[in-house]
Amino acid sequence: MSEQPSFFAELKELIIEYFESKLKLLKIGAYEKIAKVSAVLFSSILIAFTIVFMFFFLNISGGFFFGELLHSNAYGFLVMFGIYFTVFLFLILFRKKLVEKFITNKIIQKLFEKEERK
């Protein structure tokens, strides 16, 4: 009879240990997902920052190029403005279909991506 309280006490300890281990495992999984998303976000921001600088210098070059063709730097930069204003309007009109959907899908894809273990 003295063995039964010991059995239940031991079972209780094992159950508590199991749930604590399960909780730690869930926390580690969440931290891993957060780290992956953060890494992707940081690298994407870095790439976007680099691309912005590339486009900045490309736009200046394009402005001078069109300026040379139109014999006026002001007209050349006005052409560049027109191009980007058209792109801006396009993005405003179709942002939900193109931009928001694309970004949402990429984030969900990264969150549920299966990790290849070696």
Q: What's the pLDDT tens digit per position in 45-60?
A: 999 999 999 999 999 9
> What DSSP state is assigned to residue 113?
P
The answer for residues whose C-beta is within 8 angstroms of residue 69's C-beta and 6 or more apart is: 76
- Residue-level length of the chain: 118
The pLDDT value recorded for residue 114 is 64
Distance between CA 39 and CA 73 in Å, rounded?
A: 42
Weakly modelled stretches of the chain, pLDDT under 70: 1-4, 114-118
> What DSSP state is assigned to residue 1?
-
Instruction: Summarize the chain as % helix, strand, coil (round to 5).
Output: 90, 0, 10
Determine contact, residues 67/74, Cβ cutoff 8 Å: yes
Sign of CA dihedral 48, 51, 53, 59: negative
The pLDDT value recorded for residue 118 is 42
Distance between CA 62 and CA 79 in Å, rounded?
A: 9
DSSP helix/strand/coil, 103 = helix
The pLDDT value recorded for residue 116 is 52
